[in-house]
Structure 1
Amino acid sequence: MDMISHKGKLYENFSRNALTRLVPEYRVVNTAKEFAEACQMLKAKGKTVCLKPDSGRGGEGFRIIRGSKDSIKDLFGHLSHEMAYEDVYEILLTVPRFDSLIVMEYLEGYEYSIDCLAFNGKLLAAVPRKKAGGRIRSLENVPELMQIALEINQELNIPYVFNIQVKYSKGVPKLLEINPRMSGGLHISSLSGINFPYLAVKLLTTGGADVPVPNLRVTATYIEKSVVLS
């Protein structure tokens, strides 16, 4: 759990086995100097740079690092995850050390969340869910993502429900993180016919469950509804 919860430790673990192909270019940094060196290394390889906390959740602390300082357009525009390199560097200089940050290559392709159900070391179901733009989500049968789920299950043996997040870069899937819990988008993956919460509880309480073959040809969205409270 400690290793999975820290992206740096997770990437380091995967770099030592057959899953190294999933690891993006990255560095773990704790000082402004290390941040500058990591940015220079990635830029020299032609990469766009981003950073995020080593143990953050969701999009907390995620920033894309750009070269130019903020302009008047930024002030009047939409809120953005982008920050100028100089601004980030100056902020990090205000402390001698800070909690670990992951400085890594920005992955520009589609993002997939793979919701998984496992028991006694066996992967019983995997449902790849693509962020297809806005609030649209697509459940897709992507063989290489199914293989990734199988290999990660064999390596980590996480029981019941867990989630794998990957993002593509130039057609190659790279690991973002692994969540040893139910994901926030599980209600969409359950449209596949896999009732993840129910099956997980049944496996826990009885040791067995009939897991159907998922329908991976679903495109869905969600809406908000006004509810009168008083």
Structure 2
Amino acid sequence: MRGLREIDGVTIIGCDRRQVNAGRPFCDRFYQISSVHDEDQYILDIQRIVQEENVDLVFPSLHEEIDIYHRRRGEIPSRSIAPVTQSVNRMTDKGEAYAFMEAHGMKKHIPRYTLFHTNEELRKALMRFSDTRYTVAKDTNAHGALGFALLTDKEGYLQALSEGKKSVVWEEDYAAIPHHGRKMLMEYLAGQEYSVDMYLHRGKACAVIPRRRSGVASGIVLDGVVVEDQQLMKLAEEVGTLFMTDGFLNLQFMEQDGEYLLTDLNPRFCGSQIMSLGAGVNFPEIALRCSLDGECPEISPKWNTRMVRYRDQFFMEENGKDPFPEQLAENLSIPGSKE
């Protein structure tokens, strides 16, 4: 929304299942809609808003929305920046993503991993990582820090417990929990972490912006630098164009022994792409230009721009009335808001 508010002539129509939410002050108008888990009613709500407001472009931002817009794109009477791809599941399920990369000769760019479905399979899988102090466990379709656990032996767990590291789990405790569905074990990578924001249009990358992640808490980037890394940019473009032809994509890598290993794919606008905006690359504007004008705009990144994030807040009066009158966005002091 910060990126959209910087574009002249853009009207932001916000939607959320909650009436009170942190994004509403950035909107010109707002609608409370059904949850994505009530999919049919959610689609009806979006259809109504698109028609009433004559919406030109929809920005789905939730992980769950990506699959809905892929499957039911034809039911929304407006364009959207949801990814154009042959398979969304291939992008949101890391097991599928890694298998697809292996089949296309990119095995050296994925970590060592194995899949499991049951507790018995988990115990066998743990034996394959007996040569490492830590092993990463996660759901194959999780995003952010959801479902993440760092497994270790009892000695490592007790040390982590004394140091207040909450994500470290004794592997015996983890193996005692009933496990169903598909999950994965992955080698623990201790190198430098990077994210790459990119926008694809007609099978080509309009913008590829790497970010070195210096401080991360609960999956949220608090400190980082936009860097010009040609090796990483080239790899990100190869990975991105392998999976999709159009839309925004965030890729996450870990550097190890001079190589970059892919750890996550996010085919949606992620919160940390605000770093790219700070470096002069407005991805929401790129999405608008590509979708409505059919052309990629030129960009001039300010390399080595550093972001340090902090929490902010706004206040409202709880008096039984709508806490967000139409004029609220103008009255609040919001970075990026127009005078």
Query: TM-score scaled to structure 1, two decimals?
Result: 0.90
For 1:102, the aligned partner's letter is M
Q: Select 1:52's aligned residue among 91, 116, 138.
A: 138
Which residue in 2 is equivalent to 1:106? 188
Cα deviation, 1:107-159, whole Å, max 9, x if unaligned, reads: 11111110001101111111111111352111111122101112113312341
CA distance in 1, matches of 2:159, 2:275: 39
8 A contact 2:154–2:170 mirrored in 1 = yes
With over 3 angstroms needed to count, the CA separation of the structure-2 counterparts of 1:183 and 1:72, relative to structure 1, is closer
With over 3 angstroms needed to count, the CA separation of the structure-2 counterparts of 1:64 and 1:204, relative to structure 1, is same
- 1:40-189 map, 5 Å: 40-44=127-131, 46=132, 48-68=134-154, 71=158, 74=161, 78=164, 80-92=166-178, 98-133=180-215, 135-189=222-276
Structure 1: unaligned runs, 5 residues or longer: none
Larger Rg belongs to:
2
8 A contact 2:160–2:168 mirrored in 1 = no
What SS does structure 1 have at the residue aligned with 2:250?
Answer: strand
CA distance in 2, matches of 1:169, 1:62: 20
Q: Select 1:37's aligned residue among 114, 124, 128.
A: 124
With over 3 angstroms needed to count, the CA separation of the structure-2 counterparts of 1:72 and 1:12, relative to structure 1, is closer
CA distance in 2, matches of 1:11, 1:125: 24
8 A contact 1:4–1:178 mirrored in 2 = yes
CA distance in 2, matches of 1:197, 1:180: 14
For 1:10, the aligned partner's letter is A
What SS does structure 2 have at the residue aligned with 1:136?
Answer: strand
Which residue in 1 is equivalent to 2:103? 16
What SS does structure 1 have at the residue aligned with 2:154?
Answer: coil
Q: Structure 1 residue 162: deviation in Å?
A: 0.9
- 1:173-212 map, 5 Å: 173-212=260-299
Which residue in 2 is equivalent to 1:222? 309
For 1:3, the aligned partner's letter is R
Structure 2: unaligned runs, 5 residues or longer: 1-87, 217-221, 318-339
Cα deviation, 1:196-215, whole Å, max 9, x if unaligned, reads: 00110221112014221322
8 A contact 1:26–1:105 mirrored in 2 = yes
How many residue pairs get aligned? The number is: 224
Query: TM-score scaled to structure 2, two decimals?
Result: 0.62
Structural RMSD (CA) = 2.0
CA distance in 2, matches of 1:214, 1:72: 43
Identity %: 22
Q: Structure 1 residue 63: deviation in Å?
A: 0.7
For 1:4, the aligned partner's letter is M
What SS does structure 1 have at the residue aligned with 2:215?
Answer: coil
What SS does structure 2 have at the residue aligned with 1:123?
Answer: strand
8 A contact 2:135–2:185 mirrored in 1 = yes
8 A contact 1:139–1:189 mirrored in 2 = yes
What SS does structure 1 have at the residue aligned with 2:115?
Answer: strand
Q: Structure 1 residue 32: deviation in Å?
A: 1.1
CA distance in 2, matches of 1:151, 1:71: 42
CA distance in 1, matches of 2:187, 2:263: 11
Q: Structure 1 residue 71: deviation in Å?
A: 4.5
With over 3 angstroms needed to count, the CA separation of the structure-2 counterparts of 1:192 and 1:42, relative to structure 1, is same
